[in-house]
Amino acid sequence: MYKRITLLLTISNGVFTKSRSFNPEHIYTVPHVNYEGFDEVILVCTDTKVSNEYQCFINKLVKSLSVPLVISGGVFSLGEAKSYFDLGADRLIINRALWDNPSVFKEIATIYGKQAVILSLDFYKKENKITSYDWEKKEYRKSLLPKYFPEILPYIGEILIQDVEQDGRVLGANIDMIFEICNLMPKGIPIHIGSCGLVDWDQYAELLNLDFVDAVSVSNVHHMSKKAISSLRNHCIIKNIYIRNI
């Protein structure tokens, strides 16, 4: 099976923004983004409450998109999931519902299949303890995963891991931390590396070369152009990573 290089866009108030620790900083335009150069497009809504502007952004994007679309944005119920699938989502990212309404995983997977369900974990290491971050309460949880997590596993098709501290920074990914998080994940569920501060092609290739990693996201705006993504894909092919040759 091909490894995937995906495009991750952070959206706030219906526009593409640069984020740092998933807090919007600068507004970007999207005309230079080469969507077709990626295997999948991921939209991450950084707003606490989803706005009509976000839905307008999705509507405009799906009209011209030819690759699969993944959408996040406050999915807590089957009805909210259905609304995103109706908009054109192929898969959904679920984050806070793991803690606030875990039954929604089974509800969505039962109807749409578990391959359509992605669990997002935004991790952070504080005082040598790995935790996850609650974006609504703006605080760190006491643990990375809830105790009942094993009960949810049958309804998860993929796990997206993201580094709260490294998002939006250009110092390079904390590869050792990513390895540590991956080792904590259950075996048999594909790992998708989200926004973790990757800055050079070798870091992408190193992660894609891992057996348990299925995909790595591009979240750096400078890596989204046709020239950049072509260069990254060619680098991975040279490194003997099994990806599509676009």
Cα separation of 43 and 58, whole Å? 8
Average pLDDT over residues 101-116: 97
If pLDDT is split at 50, 70 and 90, which confidence band does 138 have? confident
Q: Is the dihedral of CA 117, 172, 231, 233 positive or negative?
A: negative
Cα separation of 60 and 65, whole Å? 9
Cα separation of 32 and 64, whole Å? 14
Secondary structure (3-state) at 66: coil
User: What's the pLDDT at 215?
Assistant: 97
If pLDDT is split at 50, 70 and 90, which confidence band does 109 have? very high
User: What's the pLDDT at 110?
Assistant: 98
User: What's the pLDDT at 25?
Assistant: 47
Q: Which pLDDT tens digit goes with each residue over 31-43?
A: 678 999 999 999 9
Residue 146: closest CA among 194, 195, 100, 77: 100
Spell out the long-range contacts of 53-62 with Cβ–Cβ below 8 A and sequence spacing 24 or more: 53/13, 53/14, 53/15, 54/11, 54/13, 54/14, 55/87, 56/14, 57/11, 57/14, 57/15, 58/84, 58/87, 58/88, 59/87, 62/87, 62/88
Q: Which pLDDT tens digit goes with each residue over 146-205?
A: 999 999 999 999 999 998 877 656 667 888 989 999 999 999 999 999 888 888 899 999
- Residue with the bigger pLDDT between 13 and 24: it is 13
User: What's the pLDDT at 143?
Assistant: 92
The per-type count for the chain, helices as H runs and strands as E runs, is 8, 12
Angle made by CA atoms 51, 85, 108, in degrees to the nearest 5: 105
Q: What is the mean pLDDT of the chain?
A: 89
Q: Structure tokens of 119? A: 């669990």
Cα separation of 134 and 233, whole Å? 34
What is the model's pTM? 0.92
Q: Which pLDDT tens digit goes with each residue over 56-97?
A: 999 999 998 999 999 998 899 999 999 999 999 999 999 999
User: What's the pLDDT at 31?
Assistant: 60
